[in-house]
Structure 1
Amino acid sequence: MPDVLTLSALVIRDDAGRLLLVRKHGTTKFMQPGGKLEPGETFAAAAVRELEEELGIRVDESGLTDLGRWYGAAANEADTFIDAGIFSCSVRQAPVAAAEIEEVLWLHPDEASTRQDLAPLLTEHILPLLAAMY
């Protein structure tokens, strides 16, 4: 039976409609900022904590919009699935790569089809969700 990682992911867009993506050290796929829940932590609390740890951006849970859950293949771990709580939020601070983040990327959704280095959560769920919303 495959492993399942329970995590939060954040959909953050700038004024040009680009998505904020990150790539962690030693990995090849870009994904939303976020990460695994700590014991007893809610999806929203994990999203807030991870955003500050990874990118130095502070948001309050009240500033998150719940976009639902997604279950699917993990981006960088073989034979592993993710159970992701997905949120969107607005940020005004510039992201600064910290902790395990090696690279930050702003990507317009129209450019996603030209890339092979995007996580399944983004390509299979978030991009179609955004297309349906806008």
Structure 2
Amino acid sequence: MGTVTDPAAPPVIRIAAAVVVDAHGRWLLVRKQGTSAYMQVGGKIEPGEEPAAALVREIGEEIAAAVRPEQVRDLGPRDAPAANEPGHRLEAHVFAVDGITSAVPTAEIAEAVWVTPDEARALPLAPLTVDLLRDLAG
């Protein structure tokens, strides 16, 4: 028997997201082309892809940074409304990623910024980013 889904439930997007904090306590946030909300680097998990592998791939695609598996620490799952897809919900697998010191926006990324948690809170933020800042940055 197949899985029964609620037809009234919002569509789900499965993503992997990176919490990247530098030695100065600044968070790396990105803004996609044509959008206003800042968020973690990361993106959609392809069918059959492991979340950590998706994250490593997305980091390379979005900010031209090479990440090794030992740099990635699992922070677990999160749910949040999607920032750029109205009416959709995120199932996010969140990871801390150590050792990223530069971010060159590529592909769909319009801007990458390093900001303190207080500076971040002054920006338009994706709902997932709001939750992560609240829970992880104090």
Question: Could you tell me how far 1:93 is from its partner in structure 2?
Answer: 4.3
Residue deviations 1:75-103 (CA, integer Å, cap 9, x gap): 11110100000001112441100011011
TM-score of the superposition, structure 1-length normalised? 0.91
Question: Could you tell me how far 1:129 is from its partner in structure 2?
Answer: 2.1
Which among 81, 103, 107 is matched to residue 95 of structure 1? Answer: 103
Matching of residue 41 in structure 1 with residue 49 in structure 2:
yes
Matching of residue 122 in structure 1 with residue 129 in structure 2:
yes
1:20: which partner in 2? 28
CA distance in 1, matches of 2:122, 2:47: 38
Percent sequence identity over aligned pairs: 45
Aligned residues: 130
Greater Cα radius of gyration, structure 1 or 2: 2
1:131: which partner in 2? 137
SS at match of 2:39: coil
Please identify which structure carries the higher helix content. 1
CA distance in 2, matches of 1:119, 1:104: 14
CA distance in 2, matches of 1:24, 1:95: 14
Paired AA for residue 14 in structure 2? T
TM-score of the superposition, structure 2-length normalised? 0.88
Q: Is the 8 A contact 2:30 2:39 kept in 1?
A: yes
1:86: which partner in 2? 94
CA distance in 2, matches of 1:36, 1:15: 28
CA distance in 2, matches of 1:131, 1:29: 19
CA distance in 2, matches of 1:62, 1:83: 23
**Where do 4+ consecutive residues of structure 1 move more than 6 Å?**
none
SS at match of 1:20: strand
Unmatched segments (≥5 aa) in structure 1? none
